[in-house]
Structure 1
Amino acid sequence: MRVLKFVGNTVLWLVAAVGVLSVLAWGATQLGYIKPLVVISGSMEPGIMTGDLLIDVRADTADVEVGEVSSIYSDMTGNLVSHRVVGIEPAGDGRWAIRMKGDANDSEDGGEYIVGDHVWQPALQVSGGGYAVVWLTRPSVAVPLGFTLLCLLALSLLPPAPPRTARRESRRQGRHALEAAPVEAGAAP
């Protein structure tokens, strides 16, 4: 039982650490500090592969340079597109016109992206991390995983087993108590 409790506690602490990091990442996302993105196409391969997880941070558009990768909302697809900047010019009223191209694409994206004072740029790339995020957020995985975590939490709350010497002593005292108890002859139980 002690081994089971140790394993349960270890797994629980590891999962708790991942949980805390997840909550912090969620909070940072909600506050607009970061934007996690799962790469769904091969347009930036081999540098950014399908299934990678990008953690983007805000960047001032005025500081964006040709050759950098940026993630910009596309009116055509309704999603953020993470491609390399091939051109950037002021468009007036504090807006910018950006042209982009995927590394694996033969031509530039169709048209300019008109953006405001900031864009998203990858600060961290986790190879294959997008697959893990997509898999873990499926209900068929998340629900059993949550149940397992609750069971591990319950295991961690079990009281500790008494030391072996205390158990041996209590057994020994129980035997001595039986040996010392007088038995009357002929008495009915």
Structure 2
Amino acid sequence: MNTLRRIAMIALWTLAGVGVLCGVVWGATAAGVIKPLIVISGSMEPGIMTGDLLIATKTAASDLEVGDVVSLPSELTDKLVTHRIVAIEAAGDGYLVTMKGDNNEFEDALDYSITGDVWKPEVQVPGAGSIVMRATTPAVAVPLLIGLVALLGLTLLLPAPEPRERTSRRARAQALNAEVAR
């Protein structure tokens, strides 16, 4: 029973740690400090693969250079497109950016007009985007939640291990000497 309780406690604390990490990521995302991005196409392969998780941070548009990989909102899809900058030029109070996916033959259909800050991927976690996508589907999330509740219940229902009586070395030595003296 003790072994089962220990395994349940290890699993519970591991999941609690993952939960805290998710909370920190959620908080940083809600505060606008980071933006997690899941790569859904092969346009940047082999450098950035489909299913990778990118963590982007805000960068001033004035700091961008040709060759940088950035995530900009597309007028065609209303979604962020993560591609490499192939040209950038000043345009009024902002910039006009031309981008192209590393694995694409041609530049993007439209140029991107930007001002202020843009998202620039700083961290790439290979394959983690696929895991996040799968874990957030109801078919996976609901059984995980049920399993977590079961683990919590298991740790609460199983009896706690009996505390062992602790004796000092001196007390053990005196007891041993008393036993030998008899």
TM-score band w.r.t. shorter chain = 0.7 to 0.9
**What is the Cα deviation at residue 44 of structure 1?**
0.2
User: Partners of 1:12 and 1:123 in 2: how far apart?
Assistant: 31
TM-score (norm 2): 0.86
**What is the Cα deviation at residue 164 of structure 1?**
8.4
**Unpaired segments of 5 or more residues in structure 1?**
166-189
**What is the Cα deviation at residue 89 of structure 1?**
1.5
**What is the Cα deviation at residue 163 of structure 1?**
5.5
User: Partners of 1:164 and 1:118 in 2: how far apart?
Assistant: 60
Q: Hey, what does 1:114 align to over in structure 2?
A: 113
Aligned residue pair count: 164
5 Å matches for 1:26-175?
Answer: 26-93=26-93, 95-158=94-157, 159-162=159-162
TM-score (norm 1): 0.83
Q: Which residue identity does 2:154 align to in structure 1?
A: L
Q: Which residue identity does 1:26 align to in structure 2?
A: W
User: Partners of 2:14 and 2:38 in 1: how far apart?
Assistant: 24
**What is the Cα deviation at residue 155 of structure 1?**
2.3
Which one has a bigger Cα radius of gyration?
1
Q: Hey, what does 2:177 align to over in structure 1?
A: none
User: Partners of 2:112 and 2:18 in 1: how far apart?
Assistant: 36
State the superposition RMSD in angstroms: 1.4
Q: Which residue identity does 1:135 align to in structure 2?
A: R
Q: Secondary structure of the equivalent of 1:149? A: helix
